[in-house]
Homo-oligomer: A and B are copies of this chain.
Amino acid sequence: MGRVTKPLDPEMFDPICPSDLLPFRFGDKWAGLIIRCLQDGPRRFSELRVPLRGITAKVLTQSLRGLERDGMVRRTAYAEPVRRVEYALTPLGRSLLDPIAAACAWAEQHWDELLDAREAALPADRGISGRGRSGW
């Protein structure tokens, strides 16, 4: 089976920058990232684990099952000698790319302000809200 889509960039999610201040979440912690991983076509389980650095098999399975159940993702297992399973966006899942992109654009645009606010809050951090990490 010839590869149709380019392999995922292991660096597509910078581990330092864009994940921990962003106040948007889609579904669980990984759902947004997964959706974006699938935007160029179907991906295999292990393929998804590459850019989602550090995600464990269990958690990825969990997240994918949730997305499948909600009609965002379609899972296809092929009856081949070597086990192969592919995950692809449904039209519904694909329609999510737009609002996700809007959220990303917002974050990118206001990144400095977000950092500033966080930094300014640190000294007298009342440390109440739970937004220490936010997912994507």
Contacts and interface: CB of A to CB of B under 8 A. Distances in A.
Interface of A: 21, 23-28, 31, 61-63, 65-67, 69-72, 92, 95-96, 98-99, 102-103, 105-106, 109-110, 113-114, 116-118, 120-121, 125-126, 128-131, 134
A66 B130 contact: yes
A134 to B, nearest CB: 7
Contacts of A102: 98-99, 102-103
A25 B118 CA distance: 20
A99 B103 CA distance: 6
Contacts of A71: 113-114, 116-118, 120-121
A95 to B, nearest CB: 6
